[in-house]
Amino acid sequence: MHVLVSGGTGFVGQRVIDHLLARNHAVTVISRAPASAEAVFGARVTACDYDSLPETFDAVVNLAGATLDKRWTTAQKQRILDSRVEITRKLISTAESRGATRFVSTSAVGYYGNRGDETLDEDSSPGTDFLSDVCVQWEKAAKSDKLAVGIIRLGIVLHHSGGALGVMLPLFRWFLGGRLGSGHQYWPWIHLDDAAALYVFMLEGRHEGVVSGTAPEPVTNREFTRKLAGAVHRPVSLPVPAFALRILYGEMADMLLNGQRAIPRRTLKLGFTFRHGDLPGALENALAD
């Protein structure tokens, strides 16, 4: 297929494109700076901006969205929302009018809000906080009567090259890795390669509806901290108090202190196989790859 990928130069997007190319799909990367995208991928892909999308294509993989790791000012919260919802609406409309049949979009486990140790799956209700509202609107923007739309609610994506693990590793290696707040909050996670493979699985299988992009065994932050410290052969350091995170990050600290015990019930039912289903093995691979 000829697949358009938005957010293709990002941490997850680059690995998704690697998987698409390995499956012999042709890829066009959508970027506000096409030259930069071409510099990342070379001749393996073509690149365009949002105002010069191809006249025809078969499918879209949508990973676009402003970063969440900046302090959530009113302006930044609006950018977080618009960069997901407005781009998704535009891509859906364009795909419907230019012959595409498949659309795989992104959401996040933040959809569920802070739910303690409640077990959550794809049919669980949304939360009521800022990220929940963003995810609800994001998923609503991906609705279409003309396309086979699949939506992946991603958890914490693990790989040493970026994401949460890329930020945490230096701290753990400097003996500064400790649990966050109480440590009781669940951290649903997924290895980067499993995340990328899931996008391709949803695309090629023409699967519709929401699936969880999380490994089958979510763990608490306390357990995650212990397993990561062991993987880098360091002791667990002192915990980081919740109040300190809130002073440092403001409302953005909710991402670290809140949790979702999300399980991939429908993902497994559709037949997807996780290559990295246990946390110790996933961390070992994510650190070595």
The model's pLDDT over 214-266, given as tens digits with 9 standing for 90+, comes to 999 999 999 999 999 999 899 888 888 888 888 878 888 888 889 999 999 99
* pTM of the complete model: 0.95
Domains of the chain, by residue range, sit at 2-288
The model's pLDDT over 112-170, given as tens digits with 9 standing for 90+, comes to 999 999 999 999 999 999 999 999 999 999 999 999 999 999 999 999 998 888 888 88
Query: Which residues 6+ apart lie within 8 Å of 104 measured at CB?
Result: 59, 60, 61, 62, 149, 150, 151, 152, 199, 202, 203
The model's pLDDT over 41-94, given as tens digits with 9 standing for 90+, comes to 988 999 999 989 999 999 999 999 988 888 889 999 999 999 999 999 999 999
- The DSSP letter of residue 55 is S
pLDDT of residue 247: 82
The model's pLDDT over 162-203, given as tens digits with 9 standing for 90+, comes to 888 888 888 888 888 888 989 899 999 999 999 999 999 999
CATH topology of domain 2-288: Rossmann fold (3.40.50)
Burial 50-75 (b: 16+ CB within 10 A, else e): eeebeeebbbbbbbbbeeeeeebeee
